[in-house]
Chain A
């Protein structure tokens, strides 16, 4: 039988490669002559230039369909989510009372976060609105008329306002404040014209026990209707998001407590199985005391 497959020696393979990279007989570099390379590069230059132009054009046309003012669709944001401050890596607030450093970062973050809520800033930028009703600002014929925001003063947060507070929002004494905020959604009339509030509880029975008592600011965790609707960051420049502060007074130390806060509002469902943050927020709280 004739063996048809000939194994190439290593040297031959190298030779073949060399010849492929530069073939001195045909003056071919990588299988193409200079002219051929010039042609192909020119072709791809023009072709890709054309494609880039085409892409840019279609993107531009597409962006014309999007307004600066409001998003075209908001179907995903029917239920606003809830979040906590201080913002931590894994949604857990861990306080080692004796270890200043462990909570100092939280305090720094909160200080910064609450700066915008200083009464002076609010008084300067925002209006005093009538509580208990939506602060609607129709365009009244003027396209995208800039919108005013309602005041939310830091002092409304009472013991959690941190103003002249030697306990640093309670972190140094093991009675930390956690701030709850609701996600902004444009043109969303939260509460459907009825009052709403935030409530917190331990997730399970033992959590409830360990959680102990807490106080909320504003009282009852109320969120006023006047902070709604939100008109978007471009036209609602100084919008101040309402907050609810929760001060945990006697959490059982050295135990991880699962806390869940939810908003009680007529038009916000808090039982979405897939979205664990729809109208609620769960976080872990741990006070370490020696």
Chain B
């Protein structure tokens, strides 16, 4: 019996351990280096290298030349390395969250080796091993069953079917996924015992193949990554082309090459928003945090926004849309269908419970049931209690517990005498009880099972508590009810009973279940009860929200089409008034083929149909039906569906929990795994994890994603604006020859100092209008950084800022003795270290250092002027369309923290560090802080006018050119 240890060891050596190989990891150092060269880093590296080259040239002319350029180069390099490290840290942090998910508890397997039973780690299983499994075990490898006793497995992680599947040792189907004698790795055995032989291990198991299918699916770039890349290209393009243009201009103006290189560095530094990418990361992670609070755990930061641009959600049914537990949905007795409350807590059972029939029916439900609550759960709410037993019995147990109270007590009072458990040949379950009525000495026989089987065994029916003969009309009524409930996709059970006559079956009568020495026909039919895995109560609302947000919700499930359609209808994926082709055919009473396919808004497509379709047909269905349900689909088909949606240009979100979902999760633009029910493979493949498994959480996620997209736009617009105010000084300096208005280091203090907190603060901005009432953004048309944004930031607000800053600059120079007219062309004399008696407009003479200090004062006021106008810029960026006063000036408190930070940093730089020469800041006269205020006011007023005109004339030329 079993393999010998030696043989097993040999096989283990050949096939490797029985474990899924983990997905390939990018080495940390590669990840780190990627951050170092991504985005603007390359430009800044070029800047740094140019600095060193400039110093090299200086050094070769004059070894004693100042080290300023070396320092600047070092500063630039440090900036790149720090932002790179920051990005790397952020990425690593979000990856770490997931590391905890992927830890698997080591599994043990009971194996027969060397003819004795041994418990070994399941990793050491090899092909040919004989393993024993029992209820509650996870199946340790793909096994073929050799013998089984009432073995049932839960294949939901593999196929998505929520019902337990029975397993026997007969081969019932050629397809290994369908046949009954194969148990799959990682599925669980629910009840019974079985012995099987291992046929596949590790990556060669069915689940392993799916997992490798998932790792074979390449990761698409997230939409926000594409947008940021697009934005980096724009800014880098502007920087490089301006840099080169002015390098050429400078050289042709007979500037020395060294000076031209320094101009080039200045232009690059002024153009590159050094702090922006870090800001974007912070904004995204803030949103990720906010989403985590709302039960959306984001693995990949960029996925935060992806959810916002989602246009199609392919949702799994079981567990996501539904509660993933069988629940009594309808009852039929007294010729009437009653509806049961299927909400999460069952609290509201409103059907008529006064009838005598209900009393009988409830007794059957209670007694003819083997399920039991696990002990020690007294304080747990009924619906949350753990039950031993299969799904439908659990449903019945909880249903009766809610309505009747303590079921176990009732069962105790009605002692069970004999019992025949359910099996697939009988298709019924029977038990015989004493009654709790001391005066009634009769035994009660109760039976439940497949409705048609139960009806066969009955000759009478209970109506309003009275037994009546079962005639054709009542049978007809039964069939109608049965069909109706079945048509709702519900699993229907029939219930009947019989009081055994006391004379034939005295108290001492011994029942024998093998010989069946009691009647099993001419029973009294009591009623029907139907069960379904009901939708979560929050889902219909969430689906409606998705629809108004322009998001198409497609259901993709492994379940039966009827059930799938019923659930789709009840959650609104198929809306109340839309029909499928089949519905139309039925209504018009014509053949399905005659119906014009495109008249139907909804479609239910099964896996079998999907298999026969080519790509175009699938695309047609996806494009032409607004409400689609895919049923009976395989993991591969799920992938095909996702790809089809992506071909239509949609951003696809896929939800799933099983291993079977992982390829689709990976392929999707954003994969959403279930946190509670989800398998590790699904969580690994997903970009996001729903901690509460609730579809409704996706909607909040979408909202946050859309908001962050809007807010990033604002952040970028805010950050880009001052680039012009930083750039103009250099251009004027080169062409007009003014003393340099702002230094490179000073620019870095704006980009990485005063501007950082305000731009993050914009991430806290509330939405301007109901963002859930507009269409998802078009991937190609609604860009993060569009032409109006660039033009408005650069050529409108940016230019105003430059003018304002120049006014302050000229003020400082004029009040110290250099009027604007005499500044032009002064650059060469001004910067000559050997001219120590430069005459100003009053005839006074200045040494180089005196001029230098004045120049630094110029830097400082220019810096302060930009800062002051950036406050106005920050305020106007709060909204893109609404007036600031509609949005509320004080609603976003973080903005004010940002403004305070700007002012405080500037105060510290000017008054605190004003004496540190290397930083080129000086102490300013208080009045210089206010010179740019008129321009700040102008910026605000101008933007209000812009927004007003946009609101007044939507769709106009102004709207098109001014709305970013």
List residues of chain A with CB under 8 Å of any chain B CB.
1-2, 4, 36, 39-40, 43-44, 47, 51, 54-55, 58-59, 62-63, 65-66, 70-77, 80-83, 88-91, 181, 183-186, 230, 232-234, 236, 239, 272, 274-278, 281
Contacts and interface: CB of A to CB of B under 8 A. Distances in A.
B846 A183 contact: yes
A185 B844 contact: yes
20 contacts: A36-B957, A58-B935, A59-B810, A62-B931, A63-B819, A65-B811, A71-B844, A73-B925, A77-B844, A81-B836, A81-B837, A91-B834, A183-B837, A183-B845, A184-B839, A230-B844, A232-B842, A272-B849, A277-B848, A277-B849
B837 A72 contact: no
A51 B845 CA distance: 35
A272 to B, nearest CB: 8
Interface string B214-231: 001110100000000000
B854 to A, nearest CB: 6
Interface stretch (B187-195, B551-559, B799-807): B799-807
Interface string B790-803: 00000110011001
B846 A77 contact: yes
Contacts of A272: 849
Contacts of A91: 834
Nearest to A3: B218
Given A54-B803, A54-B938, A281-B836, A77 B815 contact: no
Q: Can you list the 5 inter-chain pairs with the closest CB atoms, starting with the nearest? A: A233-B843, A81-B847, A183-B845, A275-B849, A72-B815
Given A71-B842, A76-B854, A81-B836, A2 B847 contact: no
Contacts, number: 126
Given A183-B837, A274-B849, A51 B843 contact: no
A183 B917 CA distance: 24
In this complex, which of A88, A232, A272, A281 has the most chain B Cβ atoms within 10 angstroms of its Cβ? A232
B934 interface: yes
B815 A66 contact: yes
In this complex, which of A36, A51, A239 has the most chain B Cβ atoms within 10 angstroms of its Cβ? A51
Contacts of A70: 842
B853 A51 contact: no
A62 B814 contact: yes
Contact of A77 (B643, B647, B841, B850): B850
A81 B845 contact: yes
B842 A186 contact: yes
Interface in B913-935: 917, 925, 931, 934-935
A234 B842 CA distance: 7
B934 to A, nearest CB: 7
Contacts of A181: 837
Given A59-B820, A83-B845, A275-B850, 6 more contacts: A55-B807, A62-B811, A77-B850, A81-B837, A89-B834, A277-B836
Nearest to A283: B834
A55 B847 contact: no
Given A47-B796, A59-B807, A71 B849 contact: no
B814 A186 contact: no
Contacts of B840: 71
Nearest to A65: B815
B849 A66 contact: no
A119 B339 CA distance: 123
In this complex, which of B815, B820, B854, B938 has the most chain A Cβ atoms within 10 angstroms of its Cβ? B815
Contacts of B796: 47
A137 to B, nearest CB: 16
B961 interface: yes
B816 A73 contact: yes
Contacts of A40: 961
Contact of B853 (A59, A62, A76, A185): A76
Contacts of A77: 844, 846, 850
A43 B962 CA distance: 11
B537 interface: no
B150 interface: no
Nearest to B643: A2
A183 B844 contact: yes
A4 B817 CA distance: 64
B646 interface: yes
Contacts of A76: 816, 846, 850, 853-854
Contact of A58 (B807, B834, B836, B842): B807
A36 B854 CA distance: 46
In this complex, which of B216, B796, B816, B925 has the most chain A Cβ atoms within 10 angstroms of its Cβ? B816
B847 A278 contact: yes
A170 to B, nearest CB: 23
Contact of A183 (B643, B810, B847, B931): B847
Given A1-B218, A62-B810, A51 B846 contact: no
Contacts of B938: 54
Interface string B825-860: 000000000101101111111111110011000000
Nearest to A44: B795
A1 B850 contact: no
Contacts of B957: 36, 39
Contacts of B850: 76-77, 81, 275
A276 B834 contact: no
In this complex, which of B807, B836, B935 has the most chain A Cβ atoms within 10 angstroms of its Cβ? B836
A65 B807 CA distance: 13
A62 B796 CA distance: 23
Nearest to B818: A71
Contact of B849 (A51, A58, A88, A276): A276
B811 A233 contact: no
A184 B845 contact: yes
B185 to A, nearest CB: 26
In this complex, which of A4, A44, A183, A276 has the most chain B Cβ atoms within 10 angstroms of its Cβ? A183
Nearest to B639: A1
A275 B842 contact: no
Contacts of A281: 836
A275 B803 contact: no
B647 A2 contact: yes
Nearest to A39: B957
Contact of B646 (A4, A54, A90, A277): A4
A44 B794 CA distance: 13
A48 B958 CA distance: 17
Contact of A63 (B217, B814, B844, B934): B814
A230 B935 CA distance: 38
Nearest to B834: A91
In this complex, which of B217, B806, B811, B845 has the most chain A Cβ atoms within 10 angstroms of its Cβ? B845
Contact of A71 (B800, B817, B925): B817
Contacts of B217: 1
A251 B216 CA distance: 86
A272 B217 CA distance: 70
A74 B643 CA distance: 73
A44 B216 CA distance: 53
A66 B846 contact: no
A5 B847 CA distance: 62
B578 to A, nearest CB: 30
B816 A72 contact: yes
Given A4-B220, A55-B803, A274 B843 contact: no
Contacts of A74: 816-817, 844
Nearest to A36: B957
Nearest to B800: A51
Nearest to A91: B834
A63 B810 CA distance: 9
A80 B853 CA distance: 14
B797 to A, nearest CB: 11
A65 B815 CA distance: 8
A73 B815 contact: yes
Interface string B67-94: 0000000000000000000000000000
A232 B843 contact: yes
Contacts of B854: 76
Contact of A278 (B647, B845, B849): B849
Contacts of B216: 1
A274 B842 contact: no
